[in-house]
A and B are shown apart, each in its own frame.
Chain A
Amino acid sequence: MRHPVLGLVVMIAAASLLILPLSAHHEITAKFDPAKTTRLQGVVTYVDWANPHVHIFMNVGTGTNIVNWAVELESVIDLQRAKYTRDTVKPGDTLSVEGILARDGSRQVWGNTVTLAGKRILNVPEETVNRAPGGPAPRWPDGKPRLGPTTGTTGYWARPSMTILAENGTNIRANKNGLLANIADAGKVAPFQPWAKDLFELRQRNRLADDPQYLYCLPPGGPRQYQEAYGVQFVEDKDHQRIFVFVGGVDHNWRLIYLDGRQQVGQVRGDSDNPLYYGRAVGKWEGDSLVVDIKGFNEKFWFSNGGLPHTDKLHLTEKFTRTDANTLKYEVTIDDTGAYTRPWSSGWNLQWVAGEELPAFYCQDNRP
């Protein structure tokens, strides 16, 4: 997830000699303008230590000219991994902040550098992703690979090797949120129908600001859940022939893949049921690969990083292969005659994060 950021962010950063934070969980340039830098000193009035982003409020100025600013920082999850806690900064502390200003002119700043008593704090170091293969994939007694941790261990899947959904064979550069390095690449990402290409480009030009996952905390259906910042976990309930997929981010959702041979129909009125965020998913093992077929999606969410459109005709075929203990190969074929001119395929690898529980991130944590 946190490999060096490519693309637009780097171009902007280079142009303005800024180094942007690398791990914000969603596109901060949608809200903040990297070209508008500032430096503030103030006295902390309140610390809102909550996901999705921590906010520190501080009074800036003297005498009758005191105004309150909001300094926005990384998520609680990221800051805690960097060993900071909600007591790192307390009301009354004097902070120096270097950052970039909100585009709307409000008194909000994204804190690139926060300094307390001469010491830099609340920075999230870049994570190095070691993609070296591990040992052989662990297996169940029935010989099938295990998609989750073995008894007595913990771990989950994260750090996708690709952060946008782009057709196999393309070479599209995008940052970790799927924001294109070069907007001229928009039409090359997938075999779009014209309207879908226009909508994708619009979402990109708006710097992903319209993303329902961040605006309304709506679920990441489809391939997107395998590109999330806080990973996924598989819980294989062999006893009931089903697999739970747990999503670390957004709203820490569960969803189900049924392996019990059922039809892909709604639970109440079959195809008349409302379409779903996660669709109706059935799976089966083909050799060492789990093959999942999903249809019945609604259109209320973005099914990929970067905002590729889809319609309720979306039909996905996914293939999961644990090629070694540390690597999960994800392959997906997108068949959506409403948005694309032909079926097309993409895929990436996920990395095993050993020894940690899946993060419990709730998008709405900092809302009253």
Chain B
Amino acid sequence: MRHHALGSACVLVLALGSLGFGQVAVQGTGGQGRGTQEVGQGASAAPAAGGAPRGGRGAAAAAPAKPTPRKADGKPVLGTGTGEAALWLPAGGGGERFVNPDTADPSPDKLRISEVPMLPWTRALLEYRLENQLEPHTRCKPSGGPRQFLTPYGVEIVEMPDLKQIIIMDLGGPHTYRAIYMDGRPHPANFQPTYYGHSTGRWEGDTLVIDTVGFNEKFWIDRQGTPHTEKLHMTEKLTRTDYNTMKYEVTIDDPGAYTKPWTSGFNFRWTANSELFEYVCQDNNYAPDLMVGAQEFVDRTSKIVP
């Protein structure tokens, strides 16, 4: 949709090239000063409640596969059960992907880039983004879609049956959250597009199905920069296949960017004895001027998200 302004984006990127690199490097230095780099620190960055050391990346695989916990009504517990403190982290750590590069091993749940049915402009923009990883997330934007689950710090899923909401608490980012309405409400008409869109959820058997529309175009839906437009209609399926594993499937239906709907996904890893902590992206971000647009070189008339 917004592919026609690549030229101005190039100018922006040239002006900001060095800054952009710095932001990626400092992304992990949040409120509590944990971790210094994003990639590969998933196993060591988050705190352990009560000071107990947390398992490394291999720990989940080594743990015995307990059955999926269930509530009194028989539905799976997706969030943190009574007496538990836990986060869901991407199973592949901070390097987890939503779409694999063509060079990667085939994965049963994951498409490769060449298999994604992109429009020509979409492919051009993705290639551009792969070369220039100037992601809005590094400028402390909220990150919707699969990207919400693709930070090395993970999320907590908070089920609030009393409110008829399931709330997903971000850790790595601007310290924000996304609500999924479980009360049967429809998507509102004339919804102002947002980073997380408007999400409604329902159960299909043991799977939570989340339907989301109303995204803005100011973020990437994954770490590599897979494009989307405001036409994105996203369907997420969350299935806790055993105690330690959440299967996450996402169908991207966006006629603004793709020739047909496509589905990819990855797993989350249950990370016990971990709890939410204060991570504030802005805390040590080296690009405040970029964030606030105070500099002359920030071209706010460009419609493209670099």
Contacts and interface: CB of A to CB of B under 8 A. Distances in A.
B301 A277 contact: no
A252 B80 contact: no
B25 interface: no
Contact of B32 (A55, A80, A219, A267): A267
A367 B169 contact: no
Nearest to B193: A86
Interface string B278-306: 10101101001011110000111110011
Contact of A254 (B51, B160, B176, B305): B176
Contacts of B31: 274, 276-277
B175 A240 contact: no
Most buried by A among B85, B183, B218: B218
A55 B164 contact: no
A152 interface: yes
Chain B residues touching A, range: 35 or more
Contacts of B47: 267-268
A217 B174 contact: yes
Nearest to A364: B291
B120 interface: no
Interface in A65-91: 76, 80, 85-86
A356 interface: no
Interface SS majority for chain B:
loop
A218 B248 CA distance: 32
A217 B291 contact: yes
Interface in A243-293: 244, 246, 251-256, 266-268, 273-274, 276-278
Interface stretch (B88-96, B108-116, B138-146, B201-209): B138-146
Contacts of B32: 266-268, 273-274, 276
A57 B293 contact: no
B18 interface: no
A42 interface: no
Given A251-B175, A268-B34, A367 B298 contact: yes
B22 interface: no
B175 A300 contact: no
Contact of B177 (A48, A217, A254, A278): A254
A216 B291 contact: yes
Contact of A237 (B33, B158, B194, B278): B158
A86 B190 CA distance: 10
A126 to B, nearest CB: 22
Interface in B123-145: 139-142
A366 B290 CA distance: 11
A355 interface: no
Contacts of A362: 141-142, 174, 176, 195
A237 B299 contact: no
B105 interface: no
Interface of A: 45-46, 48, 55, 57, 76, 80, 85-86, 148-149, 151-152, 214-219, 235, 237, 239-240, 244, 246, 251-256, 266-268, 273-274, 276-278, 300, 360, 362, 364-368
